[in-house]
Structure 1
């Protein structure tokens, strides 16, 4: 591990309930994260690593190909958007 690696979610943040990040689906709906997704956000990556998680800067942010999906900080989710439980299906 180098000093230039970082995690999206720190060990301290990972203890916050509810978890500080959610996933925005292609249709704009939101859900809680699966355990593996949480681990992915807590993994340390170098900023230039292409395998690092894509995290939206706001709920409205789009991917380069124009999709709304992606990890997003819970605090950026509009209050009128329901965040549903994660499903393994």
Structure 2
């Protein structure tokens, strides 16, 4: 298995007041740089969550495939036993 299934970490709340309350004037450069840093950090977290979700989906699909193969093997064994008992 590529990864174990664990809960997603919560995303931190968006801190920027520029987006929440749009100012009438152009915000200061420091505020805009802080907003850009926050957005880049959020983007990175979203990409990490998407990668983890993809890994988890692969893990689940692989587990389901193994279970189906196991059940198929059990069904074949039962059918074989029935044929042997009928003879």
The normalised TM-score by structure 2 is 0.24
Structure with greater strand share of residues: 1
Pair member with larger Rg: 2
The normalised TM-score by structure 1 is 0.24
